Amino acid sequence: MRLAGKVALITGAARGIGRGIALKFAQEGAKVGVLDVDELDSQGVVNDIVIEGGEGLALGADVTDPAQVLEAVRWLTLKFGPPTILVNNAAVMPSGRLHETSVEDFDRCLAVNLRGTYLVSRAVIPGMIDAGGGSIIHMSSVTGLRGLPGLAAYSATKGALIALARAMSTDYAPHGIRVNALAPGTIDSPMLHDFVAKQTDKARVRRQFDAMHPIGRVGTIEEVANVCLFLASDEASFVTGSTYSVDGGLSAKGEQPQD
């Protein structure tokens, strides 16, 4: 019960990594706001939380819409009190090199991944300040630290989230609010399954993902949720402005010299 009595807001929590974090936080005693554009699946996650004896609230909202974000935070605050844990996890991942990325895809990617993080943080921070502190986690990616091919727009947003976490950590440390970033490698998630399903040689692509990580496999949602739990909890009370890699060594790896 490492989050007993706390209120947490997780964006993009209807599936995948966000869902795993929402379930983990609820198991640790937090009351969880499950925010997603997909309201039906958000309610499904809340049902799963309740079945396990926890408490949650489904919040159907688009993180790119300032009014919807404010309304969602207002509902959560009315139901459980102001959130003192926020995980900015909602994201979209258009693929392609820069000149192949449409203006619409580029704008949407920045709107969800970066501007959405700004809008949700902005809506939550006044309540956190009044409460005397909190923990904010931006979900970045190994692509925010290292160049990987075919992910120009996505990588730009994930790098920006790391810079944003650092900047915010300096602004809000005096208020007891810690701000960190998490940078997962490839994770066994619906996003990965969708990608692999579109490939011709699915088994080979999947093997390549596993082999890319020095640990020899992709990560699990649980492994990301565990580190997120640490950053959200008081155990990380001296950790702010940091980026935690959860990538099986991918970002640490150098190139093997070839003959």
Ligand X SMILES: NC(=O)c1ccc[n+]([C@@H]2O[C@H](COP(=O)([O-])OP(=O)(O)OC[C@H]3O[C@@H](n4cnc5c(N)ncnc54)[C@H](O)[C@@H]3O)[C@@H](O)[C@H]2O)c1
CB atoms under 10 Å from CB of 185, counted, come to: 25
Out of 8, 26, 63, 227, which residue is the one contacting ligand X (CB under 6 A)? Answer: 63
Out of 33, 82, 83, 184, which residue is the one contacting ligand X (CB under 6 A)? Answer: 184
Shortest distance, CB of residue 47 to ligand X, whole angstroms?
16
CB atoms under 10 Å from CB of 156, counted, come to: 18
3-state SS assignment for residue 18: helix
Residue 141 touches ligand X, criterion: CB under 6 A: yes
Q: Determine the Cα–Cα distance for residues 158 and 110; give it in Å rounded to an integer.
A: 10
Q: Are 250 and 219 in contact (CB under 8 A)?
A: no
Query: Is residue 154 annotated as a catalytic residue, yes or no?
Result: yes
Residue 120: CB partners within 8 Å, gap ≥ 6? 9, 11, 35, 63, 69, 73, 86, 88
Out of 7, 10, 14, 236, which residue is the one contacting ligand X (CB under 6 A)? Answer: 14
Residue 60 touches ligand X, criterion: CB under 6 A: no
Please work out the total of residues on this chain that contact ligand X, with binding judged by CB under 6 A: 28
Rule CB under 6 A: which of 99-118 touch ligand X? 112, 116
Residue 132, classified by CB atoms within 10 Å of its CB into exposed (0-12), middle (13-18) or buried (19+), is exposed
Residue 245 touches ligand X, criterion: CB under 6 A: no
| Phi, psi torsion values for 242, nearest 5 degrees | -100, 160
Binding mask 204-243 for ligand X (x = CB under 6 A): ----------------------------------------
Binding mask 30-59 for ligand X (x = CB under 6 A): ------xxx---------------------
Q: Determine the Cα–Cα distance for residues 4 and 228; give it in Å rounded to an integer.
A: 16
Residue 131 touches ligand X, criterion: CB under 6 A: no
Shortest distance, CB of residue 163 to ligand X, whole angstroms?
16
Residue 150 touches ligand X, criterion: CB under 6 A: no
Out of 62, 73, 80, 155, which residue is the one contacting ligand X (CB under 6 A)? Answer: 62
Shortest distance, CB of residue 69 to ligand X, whole angstroms?
9
Residue 110: CB partners within 8 Å, gap ≥ 6? 153, 156, 157
Q: Determine the Cα–Cα distance for residues 187 and 75; give it in Å rounded to an integer.
A: 32
> Whose Cβ is closer to ligand X: residue 82's or residue 184's?
184
Length of the chain: 259
Shortest distance, CB of residue 1 to ligand X, whole angstroms?
25
Structure tokens at 70: 């404010």
3-state SS assignment for residue 113: helix
Please report where in the chains the tokens 């919807």 appear, as a residue. 68
Out of 191, 196, 205, 239, which residue is the one contacting ligand X (CB under 6 A)? Answer: 191
Out of 27, 43, 64, 180, which residue is the one contacting ligand X (CB under 6 A)? Answer: 64
3-state SS assignment for residue 246: strand
Which residues are part of the catalytic machinery? 154
Tell me which residues touch ligand X (CB under 6 A).
Answer: 11-12, 14-18, 36-38, 62-64, 89-92, 112, 116, 139, 141, 184, 186-187, 189-192
